[in-house]
Amino acid sequence: MQLLRSAFIILISLFCINTLFAQTQNLKLWYRNPAQKWTDALPIGNGRLGGMIYGGTEEEHIQFNEETLWTGGPRDYHREGASHYLQAIRNLLAEAKQTEAEALAEQHFMGRKSNEEGYESLKNSWFQSVRKDTAASAFSFDEKNWKEIQLPAAEGWETVGLEGEDGAIWLRNSFDLPKEWEGKSLVVELGRIRDLDFTYVNGKAIGSSEGITKNRRYLIPASVLRKGKNVISIQVINWYDKGGLIGIKNFSRGLVVRLENEDISKGISLDSTWKYWIQNNTPPVYPQYEASYQPFGDLFVQFKHSGKESNYSRELDISNAVAKTTYTVNGVTYTREYLASVPHQAIVMRITANKKGSIHLYAFLKSPHKGFTTQRIDDQTIRIDFKVRNGVLRGASYLRVIAINGKETVSNKGINLENADEAIFYLTAATSFKSFKDVSGNPDISSKQPLLLLNKSTNYTAIRAAHQKDYHQLFNKFSINFGRSSNESLPTDERILKFSPESDPSLLTLYMQYARYLLISSSRVGTQPANLQGIWNNLLTPPWGSKYTTNINLQMNYWPAEILNLSSCTEPLFRLIEEASKSGKETAKAHYNASGWVLHHNTDIWRGTAPINASNHGIWVTGAAWLCQHIWEHYQFTQDKNFLQQQYPIMKNAAVFFIDFLVKDPKTGWLISTPSNSPEHGGLVAGPAMDHQIIRELFNNCILASQVLQTDEAFRKQLLDKVNQIAPNQIGRYGQLQEWLEDKDDTTDTHRHVSHLWGVYPGRDITWDDSIPMMKAARQSLLYRGDEGTGWSLAWKVNLWARFKDGNHALQIIKGLLSPAEGASGSERGGVYHNLFDAHPPFQIDGNFGGAAGIGEMLLQSHAGYIDLLPALPVALAEGAIKGLCARNGFEVAMSWKAGQLSKVEVLSKNGNECILRYHDREVKFSTQKGKVYRFDSSLKKAEIAGVLSSS
């Protein structure tokens, strides 16, 4: 009787779990207006192609990318002979001569730049030629044929009409001198300028400076000024990247003329329309350490319907990976659907109307790359092609229309369609990239190939069904429900403004699933990994090159993959690691005279591994070791021994490098990492704690992997000997976990990086089970760092507070992650943009991925050898249910909770390993069979009911 009663209770509880999921989840981003800017637009992607959909009514704009379009080309990044200076750098650091060590390293130890041979001579010659002509500085110069631009432009003149413009550009503006200022000297505040300026007033030179961090403040002598109108002329020399007048940071008026001794707020604002003239936009190609990810092109569709639209809506349905725009004009309702298909390798847009013959449009392609050409291919198709200016790659894209009824006219410029009932557009794109060593591909053939398939299968319903079947195989493995709220009915941008976990917990559900959508859309088997912006980028000069930053950002992109049941999306990451290990072997030899392989804090599509940017943060040696943690984590979650067998040599060779690299500290006798830094903080040092945590974990993972594979016993013993000699974690005088070898932490320091807490998360070097005092010290360090931050920094803190088992604090950080990134004045801060893209600012996708992973860590942790259920559940999320959450050792978990307490839990054993469940002070250990589901109540009492766990 008791058994029957228990079984009945279990069945009722399972019914409650399923009831939670039966409630329709509103997994849509939607808006009442078209996108006004790129971070309003909605992203679609198939891992290789990405599109940003604006949803305009008079004109649709789809900005699109192809993952392999980068600047640069295959080359050697390492600097031969750098290792000759290694010991001298180490000696200077040991003598506490950091400045001297950084100077020596800057001169001799950094990687090679592209085009560095002969650049200075070309630069000087070009510079002299543009400086000969200063006629545009004259007061009376005729500027009537010049174009207009709005300045300042905080993110460079690229964002206000001069995308991709480097070189010499003249800017002119004027102001009227107030009568009371006559006879007095003035000061012009120009803020930061990229890169070099020559500034004139009324034809007289008043100042010049170079450097993007310097605020320009120039004296205008009274003798230079005129009554009434005065003209400011500036010749800006921009060598590469962003250009122009940036303005004064954190000041509402960016450009100002003021009296010499008056406050800036009392001056005359020059924030206005300026005139500009491009004097010369062909400077010599600037040497760069690494390449930049590039935008591919733009599809514009202009609609020929007049009248005011009504009932407007645009949305992104992340349950089905389909975007939609709908509106009504003159009684006709128009609908556009968009998807990025993996099976058909195309971006597809279908346009319909509820009245026959109502579709009239003109479609054309453009590209930000200079010299692009468009060409008519046939009666339905046009093509665009180009070559990247600062690189070797070529790109080609095809646009085809299939119309029902109507008349099509195709020219070299575009596609005209009249009186159609329906139109389907297929957009393809490809480059000449074949591998990081081979650029011999034919982009025209590769871009044309998908159209051959689409010729045979032009039924949109079939294309949509194939797309969704492919997508659902990944997306439907996981579901979560934090409860419903009335705010679900609001447009997404309004929900963000009103968000709190208490009032709108379902926004957290959407946010978590959106991250999974973004990972599926930007990282699929056979593609490149998700970069700093996933796969979406609209700038020739993207922030930080939109590269792969390996001192946290690339790794954070993949934090949610294993735990949130997207394990297959990690395949591109492991291919990058394998390719980087090849170039990393050359870097290890050239820079450290070491065996194995090394990767510093950035890489790109060409798999550069040498130190870049500057010696005070670019010489950081544990990028490869950190990436190898993902190999071990993938094995931990999947228990795939074949995968581990294939990847183990990469892990081993990363460890081999550190066997050669680590040196004994003369003061302590510990093995330490030198030279290196604690990203990106404190400069070049010896013995940062983060390095030691990562290296120790790499050694331990290699030891465990060799045991699993029953191989390399001699190497295992070598690692066992070395791992115990690595400098340990230390607690400093403020009760903090020390960031460096010396106890020199500053408790007022709120730096965005929390590098020395790597051992808490994502590592397992420091856990509650192994060292409570060290965990408390790490927690104290995080308290000192504070709760402020942006983007990825906040996301890391969410995961750390989850590991500290403080769910309320973690949720407080999540509120910051989900705060509005855009102020009323147009200023930006950390949070999310209207389209839920993470704002560093500007946009970086790692915050989306890291934040979702952090919510997963709040609900389940398995790094300590057991499955810890609801370890950091916040009070505000007192009720919920989840399916498809993954745990190490090959388990998948579904559970529900109510009133802040666990209700029921199901565990699917994927490999038949022993399982340990823990909830608060309760624990159960049990053997499992592969494929069997085990169910428990809130007391972790087992119910003997077999079944199959559903993840849908």
Which residues, including other chains, have CB under 8 Å from residue 452's CB and lie 6 or more apart? none
The 3-state secondary structure of 390-429, one letter per residue: CECCEEEEEEEEEEECCEEEECCCCEEEEEECEEEEEEEE
Residue type, 571: E
* Mean pLDDT, the chain, integer: 94
Residue 206 to residue 191: CA distance in whole angstroms? 15
Residue 540 to residue 166: CA distance in whole angstroms? 11
CATH number of the structural domain 123-280 = 2.60.120.260
List the structure tokens of 923.
């624990």
- pLDDT per residue as tens digits for the range 199-219: 999 999 999 999 988 899 999
Domain map (residue ranges) of the chain: 1-26+878-952, 32-72+291-476, 78-111+561-728, 123-280
- pLDDT per residue as tens digits for the range 886-895: 999 999 999 9
Contact 191, 246 (CB under 8 A): yes
pLDDT at position 19: 45
Which residues, including other chains, have CB under 8 Å from residue 618's CB and lie 6 or more apart? 110, 600, 601, 602, 611, 612
pLDDT band at 129 (very low <50, low <70, confident <90, very high): very high
pLDDT at position 944: 57
- pLDDT per residue as tens digits for the range 348-388: 999 999 999 999 999 999 999 999 999 999 999 999 999 99
Output the CA angle 652-657-658, nearest 5 degrees.
100
CATH number of the structural domain 1-26+878-952 = 2.60.40
| pLDDT at residue 17 tops 70 | no
pLDDT at position 7: 44
Q: Which residue has the tokens 């009492």?
A: 941
The 3-state secondary structure of 473-530, one letter per residue: HHHCCCEEECCCCHHHHCCHHHHHHHCCCCCCCHHHHHHHHHHHHHHHHHCCCCCCCC
- pLDDT per residue as tens digits for the range 665-699: 999 999 999 999 999 999 999 999 999 999 999 99
Which residues, including other chains, have CB under 8 Å from residue 722's CB and lie 6 or more apart? 659, 662, 671, 699
Q: Provide the 3-class DSSP secondary structure of residue 105.
A: helix
| pLDDT at residue 305 tops 90 | no
pLDDT at position 826: 60
Output the CA angle 944-948-950, nearest 5 degrees.
130
- Count the neighbouring beta carbons within 10 Å of the beta carbon of residue 834: 24
- pLDDT per residue as tens digits for the range 462-491: 999 999 999 999 999 999 999 988 899 999
The values of phi and psi at residue 400, to 5°, are -120, 140
Beta strand segments in 534-592, E = 548-549
Residue 227 to residue 519: CA distance in whole angstroms? 61
- pLDDT per residue as tens digits for the range 774-800: 999 999 999 999 998 889 999 999 999
Give me the half-sphere count of Cα atoms (radius 13 Å) on the Cβ side of residue 794.
30
Output the CA angle 673-675-676, nearest 5 degrees.
75
Mean of pLDDT values over 902-911 = 97
pTM of the model: 0.93
pLDDT band at 264 (very low <50, low <70, confident <90, very high): confident
Alpha helices in 640-789 (DSSP H): 641-661, 689-709, 713-723, 772-785
pLDDT band at 457 (very low <50, low <70, confident <90, very high): low
Contact 529, 548 (CB under 8 A): yes
Residue type, 718: Q
List the structure tokens of 618.
């670019």
Residue 86 to residue 109: CA distance in whole angstroms? 8
Q: What CATH architecture applies to the domain 78-111+561-728? A: Alpha/alpha barrel (1.50)
CATH number of the structural domain 32-72+291-476 = 2.70.98.50
| CA-based nearest residue to 47, from 571, 603, 457, 628 | 571
List the structure tokens of 438.
């081979």
